[in-house]
Structure 1
């Protein structure tokens, strides 16, 4: 993929994060939304959906359709001129994981009710478990997305996409942290 495409995905992450802020406000993880909820303990199907799509969090109707719709959107190239195969599927999934975590972090960057520097922790963000200054979901996503990307490169023994993905992670992290330093929080 070319860098303009990665820039497009970053801009889309900003747009989706801001749309989600308008929907959720201060109540992260759809806390204040009138939506159905299932805990992973509610049965095998909810446990699987929670682990696969929600990083172990409770399954809400809002997030199931939000994440499902975005994942479907990421598959749009297959309906045009990109050939579907397992290597390309692994690329789509790994990019979606990176994009989802970037979008999640940008939710905190742009949300006037949260601070990234000095206020991004398990106390102010109870729906995330933190390992140091970063939600543990972000660590798992990094490892999982790179693993899936390398798995897609494995049949050709060409780890170009896996290396490229590493640079995307670094670039998105730098861009998101830079935005956090300069976005004003007094929008009223």
Structure 2
């Protein structure tokens, strides 16, 4: 009887351990959560921290993320410039409409990464990074460590924080520079406007 009593705490601990494992927040759940909204509208503040400058270079704007369409990245300050990021590549709006940009520059790769992160494309990210996730559905942190030699030459790691949606992305570069992207006022309850639908359709 005494032996049985002494086993009870152990079996209780094991049961608690297994139940917490079963409830652990994993990459698939994060992907499903981030991929759920059809459309996300929000604002962003991007800070580029350069070792050579005492203050970060700050830009602000709005974004529209639409499932099955892509990302509109609408820079408002310090200058106005619109970008569209889709599976086909990255386009910039000028007086003549949307113009595709070369797909191999560093900025293009960074924007593709933003799109994969915001859409919850963990399988796409896993091709290029080791992923480490902590937290739960309401407050999580995802750390991306580069796999390929090319990415290792650019980034030491990328940290992503969020809750229901992505809230913060920080890219730490090997040269000591970094980019901090803060998403704010994100909402998933507004459909695409006619103008936004037109932008994605062009």
- Give the TM-score range, shorter chain: under 0.3
Structure with greater helix share of residues: 1
Q: TM-score, normalised by structure 2?
A: 0.25
Q: As a proportion of its length, which structure holds more strand?
A: 2
- Higher Rg: 2
